[in-house]
Amino acid sequence: MRIFFFILTTSIAFAQPHPSYWQQHVDYTMDVKLDVKNFRYSGTQELVYTNKSPDTLNRVFYHLYFNAFQPGSEMDVRSISLSDPDQRVGSRIGSLNEKEIGYLHVISLAQDGESIAFTEEETLLVVPLAKPLAPNASTTLSMAFEGQVPKQIRRSGRNSKEGVALSMTQWYPKLAEYDPEGWHTNPYIGREFHGVWGNFDVKLTLHKKYLVGGTGYLQNPEEVGHGYAEKTKKTKGKNLTWHFVAPNVHDFAWAADPDYIHDIHKGPNGVALHFFYKNNPEIIENWKRLQPDTAKLMAFFNRAVGAYPYKQYTVLQGGDGGMEYAMCTLITGERSYPSLYGVTSHELAHSWFQHVLAFNESKYAWMDEGFTSFIDALGEQVLNKDYSAFDGSYRSYRGLVKSGLEEPLTTHADRFDTNRAYGAGSYSKGSVFLSQLGYVLGPEMLMESLRQFYEAFAFKHPNANDFKRIAEKVSGVQLEWYLNDWARTTKTIDYAIKSVTPKDGKTEVVLERIGAMGMPIDFGVLYKNGRQTVHYIPLQMMFGEKPIPEAWKTEKDWAWARPTYTFMIDAPLHELEQLRIDPSGFMADIDLTNNVFETAEGNNTPKE
C-alpha cells in the first residue's frame, strides 16, 4: 500500500519557457465529403503555415497516416516481425483487400496559387516549396486529397468490432512539425503524435442519418439537430454538412455512426461533456453512469494540474481500446463499468498530458503515457480511496527489469525491440518517474512542479528538460542526476542495510548502495515502545533537501560515488523493533529483501 499525500498549495507562478522557445503555427480549413457506402472521401485543404522558426524552410512534409493500412507497409512489416506484436494489429494488415485497405493521396498542391510537385513516400508526403518560407513569413498551401477509410485495425477505421461505422483519426493530410530539433518526419509505424499547434475549421458532409462527434465546436447545431440542438433549419438532399471549429489544438479527430445515442452532461466550469455510444441495451446503463463520473474526474484533474482550457470534451465509442485526441477520446464501449471508467479516466487525463502539454510522443512517450498514468492513479487514490493505485506501476517496472528487456525511456517510441519494453517503460516506469520524484522532493513540491509546468507550457511542446528545470526551481533541488539515470539509462536502484551494530549504548547502521543509481534515503525506525521516526539522508548531488516533518532527523549528505554510509541511531539496539529503507514504498528499489532489519527473535540479521 502506497499513499501519496496529495496536498494543494497556492501556486506562485515563476516558471516560464526558455526565452528562445519558438513553435510553428498552422491554420487548417478543410471541406470534406464522405461516401458512407464505399468508405471513400475527398476534400480540399487550405493551410496557412506561419514560420516562427529562425530558419528559412525550403520544403515541408505531411503525414498520410492511412497509407499504413496496406499489405507490406512499414506498420504491417514491423508488426509481424516483432516478437510480441500488438494483438490488435498482428498480421491483419497483410490480409486487407483493395476495398478494405486505407489510403490517403494528395491529388494537387499549390503554394500561394503556384502549383508544386510532391512525392508520396508511403505515410509521408515530401513537398519542395515553390518559394522558400522565410522566418516570420506565412504561406498558403492549397490541396485536394482523397482517401479510403481502412477496415478498422488500429485506432481509426470503419466498422469496428462493436459496430461503430467510422472512427476517423489520423485521417487527413497533417503537416509535420518543425521545431528547435528540426523536422519530425516519423513514418506511421505504430505511434504518431506530434503536430503543429493551430486552428481548425472543418466541414464534413455525409449521409444525414449519421451522428458526428469529435474535436471542435459545432457551428451549425440548428441545421444538424442530433442532440446538439433542436433542428430548426431545413436541409435538402440526403446529406448533411457538419461545421466544426477547433481553436488552439494540434489534431482533429471525429467519429460517426447512424445508431449513436448522444447525451450532453454539464461538467465543471461550464464544460459540455458529450457522450456518443451505440444504442446497445447492454452498454447503455454503464454509459449513463459514466457521465457524472467523467465530470468528477475532470474536476479532479483541474484541481491537481490546472484548468481544462476548452469548453467541450467528447467521449466517443469507437477505435480499438482507448486513444486520446484533441478535445475528445475514442474508446471501446462494451466493457465492465470499472474498465469503462478506467479507460475514460486515462484518456481524459491525456487532455492535460498530450493535448495541452503536447509532448513529442515519439521521443517522450514516457512523459505522455507516464505522466498520464501517474495523474490517473492519483485520481484513483483520491476519488475512489484506492490506496493500491500506484502499486501496479511499480510491479510492472520491476517485472520489466527482471525480464532483461528494458531499454532506456529515451528510445524512440517506434524503435523499442519489444512492445513490452515500450509499454512497461512508457506507462509504468514513466509513471514511477513522477511518483518516485514525489519521494525525492516531497509530494507538495512535486504537485507544485506539475502545476507550474502546466501553466508555463500549455499549448506548447515541452520536453523532459523543461519539466526538470521547473521542478528544480520549485524545489531548490538539483535533478539532472535523476532525469539522466532514470530516463536515459537502464540503471537501477538497490540499497541495502549492510550492518546494524550496538555501539556505546547507541546503534550504528551501515547502508550500502548496490545499484548504480543514487537516491536520497528515508530510513524508518520503529521502536519497541511504538514510536516511529525517519532519518533523512539527502543525496549530495541534490544540493538541496525536501521539506520533512519536524519529527524526522536530517543526517549528513551521502555522496553518490561512496558505496557505503554510516550513521547512528541515538538508542540502544534492544529498544528497536524494525529498521526499514523507504517506509513509503515510493522508491523503486529493485530488491526489497535487503531493505529491512528486524530485531525480533531469530531474525536479527539483514536479509541477503
φ, ψ dihedrals at 200, nearest 5°: -120, 135
Distance CA 441, CA 447 (A): 10
Asked whether 440 and 519 are in contact (CB, 8 A), the reply is yes
DSSP category for residue 253: -
Residue type, 378: L
C-beta closer to Zn ion: residue 369 or 406: 369
Give the DSSP letter string of 483-525: HHHHHHS---B-EEEEEEEEETTEEEEEEEE-SSS---EEEEE
The least distance separating Zn ion from the CB of residue 50, rounded to whole angstroms, comes to: 30
Distance CA 153, CA 383 (A): 34
The least distance separating Zn ion from the CB of residue 350, rounded to whole angstroms, comes to: 5
C-beta closer to Zn ion: residue 369 or 414: 369
Distance CA 566, CA 178 (A): 52
Which spans of this chain sit near Zn ion (rule: CB under 5 A)?
369
CB neighbours (10 Å) of residue 128? Answer: 13
Question: For residue 323, what is the enclosing H or E element?
Answer: strand 322-325
The least distance separating Zn ion from the CB of residue 327, rounded to whole angstroms, comes to: 16
The least distance separating Zn ion from the CB of residue 372, rounded to whole angstroms, comes to: 5
Residue type, 581: I
3-state per-residue secondary structure call for 348-364: HHCCCCCCCECCCCCCC
Residue nearest to Zn ion (CB): 369
Asked whether 188 and 170 are in contact (CB, 8 A), the reply is yes
The least distance separating Zn ion from the CB of residue 191, rounded to whole angstroms, comes to: 11
C-beta closer to Zn ion: residue 41 or 353: 353
DSSP category for residue 82: S
The least distance separating Zn ion from the CB of residue 317, rounded to whole angstroms, comes to: 18
The least distance separating Zn ion from the CB of residue 376, rounded to whole angstroms, comes to: 9
The least distance separating Zn ion from the CB of residue 301, rounded to whole angstroms, comes to: 14
How buried is 142 (Cβ within 10 angstroms: 0-12 exposed, 13-18 middle, 19+ buried)?
A: middle
Distance CA 109, CA 363 (A): 30
Give the DSSP letter string of 150-181: PBS-SSSEES-TT--SEEESS-S-EEPPEETT
